[in-house]
Amino acid sequence: MNWSAISSIYVFELARFFRTIAQSLVSPVLSTSLYFVVFGAAIGSRIEEVDGVSYGAFIVPGLIMLTVMTQSISNASFGIYFPKFIGTIYELLSAPINFLEIVMGYVGAAATKALFIGIIILITSFFFVEIQIAHPVAMVLFLVLTCVSFALFGFIIGIWAGSFEQLQLVPLLIVTPLVFLGGSFYSISMLPPVWQTISMFNPVVYLISGFRWAFFGLSDVPVATSLFAIAGFTALCLGAVWWIFKTGWRIRQ
């Protein structure tokens, strides 16, 4: 394993994060704070509790997941798309490093940035609502797995994209709606039976449910199912990345 190459890519990508700190950190934190004001204060004043948890606290896991998923995807997709756009990707491909080391550098940096933002938002939430984390180890585990899996997904999007507009296509049209409809601001049990069944086909439901369980001990689906879903998604993304580098799809073509 070429740790020097991995660390070089990793440090370079992290440096880009701190060069654009206003866009990378301040913007998502401010956006999430507005969600707390609108949903936590305005709507929360009308919905006192959900399953025994104050509404303001109940939406915290969903807001963190919303930000972490979108940031993981955007950081990883841009990180690999830009070298492909300007042609420096061929320097990586010709260097004595394998695809796993390239992926570890880019995905590791994207996941770290998303994890850092997620922790900042968690700390910010304590200024708005009172939160007690029932299972802190499980919370960290779900957060890290989500960052890594969606950074892998973003890496695939970055390779697939043929323009800067396409980088935003999947997050805006697919991921964000799935998160909003995945129980970020409500419990699936509050829906009519038909919509509860339909929601079970939304993979984001399992991630948010498991993450919320780590906070409050409440979940819409079994925790083991949530872990299985995120592990399966990670394995699927790893398989797709392996196939991309094996065939050279959208990289050498």
pLDDT digits (tens, 9 = 90+) for 38-49: 776 666 667 767
In whole angstroms, give the CA distance from residue 3 to residue 129. Answer: 42
In whole angstroms, give the CA distance from residue 56 to residue 43. Answer: 9
Band the pLDDT of 105: cuts 50, 70, 90.
Answer: very high
Whether residue 179 is contained in a domain is answered as yes
pLDDT digits (tens, 9 = 90+) for 10-52: 999 988 777 776 666 777 778 777 877 777 666 666 776 788 8
Residues 6+ apart with CB under 8 A from 166: 160
HSE-up (13 A, CA, CB side) for residue 120: 19
Whether residue 73 is contained in a domain is answered as yes
Q: Phi first, then psi: what are they for 76, rounded to 5°?
A: -70, -40
How many domains would you assign to the chain?
Answer: 1
Whether residue 253 is contained in a domain is answered as no
Q: Is the pLDDT of residue 57 over 70?
A: yes
- Give the residue with greater pLDDT, 46 vs 150: 150
Task: Judge whether 188 and 205 are in contact, CB under 8 Å.
Answer: yes
Q: For the ranges 136-140, 175-179, 226-230, 232-236, which has the lowest average pLDDT?
A: 175-179
Q: Is the pLDDT of residue 253 over 60?
A: no
| β-sheet bridge partners, residue 49 | 54
State the Rg of the chain over Cα: 19
Q: Regarding beta strands 53-54 and 49-50, do their DSSP bridges make them parallel or antiparallel, or are they unpaired?
A: antiparallel
Q: For the ranges 26-30, 78-82, 168-172, 205-209, which has the lowest average pLDDT?
A: 26-30
Neighbours of 46 (CB within 10 A): 7
Whether residue 22 is contained in a domain is answered as yes
Whether residue 31 is contained in a domain is answered as yes
Q: Can you give the residue range of the structural domain that contains 41?
A: 3-247
| Residue 108 pLDDT | 95
Whether residue 252 is contained in a domain is answered as no
Band the pLDDT of 173: cuts 50, 70, 90.
Answer: confident
| Residue 73 pLDDT | 94
Query: What kind and span of H or E run contains 54?
Result: strand 53-54
